[in-house]
Chains A and B, each alone.
Chain A
C-alpha cells in the first residue's frame, strides 16, 4: 500500500503571497488532517477533512483553508502569508474505526516565508 505523499517538499514564498500545498492520502484512507509544526515544537492541528467536508478545525485564521477531493487527496491553501507561517506542514491520513493503526503522516512541506 502506498503511504502519504506531500508536495512540494520545500517552498520559499514572500510575505503577502498565497501558497497551495498538496497531499495524497494512503490507499483506503478517507480522512485527511493537516498540521503545522514550528521548529522545536509539536504539531498544531489546522483542520481535518472527511469525505470532502471539513470535520473539525483548530485555532487557525480563515486565511488557512482546505479542500478534499473525491479521491481523498487534499490541498491546504494559505493566503496573505506572514513570516510566522514559516513551518513544516504535515498531512496525515486515517480511516475511522482503524485509529488503533494510527494516523499515517507524509514527510511534510517545509515552507519558508521571507
Chain B
C-alpha cells in the first residue's frame, strides 16, 4: 500500500460547489505540501503545513493539518473552471527535509 493515500482519486464537481480532498499517512507528517498539476506539466505550489492543527488559506483554497499530524485536507470553496487539474499532496515522513513522498493525486474536473 502507498505511504500517502489521497482520496478521492477523481472528482467531478459542478461549478460553484465546494469540495474536499484528503491526504492520509500512516506515519507522522513532518511537513505536508499541496501542489496543483496541469496534465503532463510541472507542479505549482499551493501551501505547506507543518504544525498540528495548522490551517492556511489562499484565495478560495484552504488546507488543514490535523492535530495528530497524520492527515491533511484541502478544501475549495465556490469552485471555478480554473481550479480544474490534478491535486497532489507530498510529505516529509522522516524529518530529514530532503525526500518528499507523494500521493497518487486527485483529478478534479469542474462542470460548467
Contact = CB atoms under 8 A, between A and B. Distances in A.
B40 A88 contact: yes
Interface residues on B, range: 20 to 34
A104 B41 contact: no
Nearest to B2: A42
Contacts of A102: 33, 35, 45, 47-48
Contacts, number: 67
Given A88-B40, A106-B42, A107-B42, A42 B104 contact: yes
Contact of A48 (B4, B44, B99): B99
Interface residues of A, number: 30
A45 B90 CA distance: 11
A108 B39 CA distance: 11
A72 to B, nearest CB: 15
Nearest to A3: B42
Contacts of B61: none
Interface in A36-63: 40-45, 48, 50, 55-56, 58
Given A101-B45, A103-B33, A45 B96 contact: no
Nearest to A91: B42
Interface string B78-112: 00000000001010000011111111110000000
Interface of B: 4, 31, 33, 35, 40-45, 47-48, 50, 88, 90, 96-105
Closest 9 interchain pairs by CB? Answer: A42-B102, A102-B45, A56-B98, A107-B42, A105-B43, A105-B42, A45-B99, A48-B98, A43-B102
Interface of A: 4, 31, 33, 35, 40-45, 48, 50, 55-56, 58, 88, 90, 92, 96, 99-108, 110
